[in-house]
């Protein structure tokens, strides 16, 4: 497992939340077209899974994949 500090994990959680909040803002202003589905409240799932992966692991996300940090 790639070691991650609590600060790095918190940074990823906040980064995802800010992205999703901004996406909602832009969608409500109609500067984004289509639909939007955020992961607000589910950030820890993405951060926890990614934090536990090995470098050789592969992840495919097809459901609300914008929040999965790389």
Band of pLDDT at residue 15, cut at 50, 70 and 90: very high
pLDDT digit string, tens, across residues 21-51: 998 999 999 998 887 778 888 888 888 888 8
Band of pLDDT at residue 17, cut at 50, 70 and 90: very high
CA distances 19 to 2, 11, 12, 46, 70, Å, are 24, 12, 11, 14, 14
pLDDT of residue 69: 57
pTM for the structure as a whole: 0.73
DSSP string, 28-65: HTTSS-S-----TT-HHHHHHHHHH--TT------SSG
């Amino acid at each position: 497992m790639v070691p991650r500090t609590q600060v790095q994990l918190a940074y990823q959680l906040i980064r995802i939340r800010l992205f999703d909040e901004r996406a909602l803002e832009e969608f409500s202003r109609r500067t984004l077209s289509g639909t939007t589905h955020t992961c607000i409240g589910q950030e820890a799932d993405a951060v926890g899974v990614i934090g536990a992966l090995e470098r050789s692991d592969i992840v495919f996300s097809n459901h609300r994949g914008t929040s999965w940090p790389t």
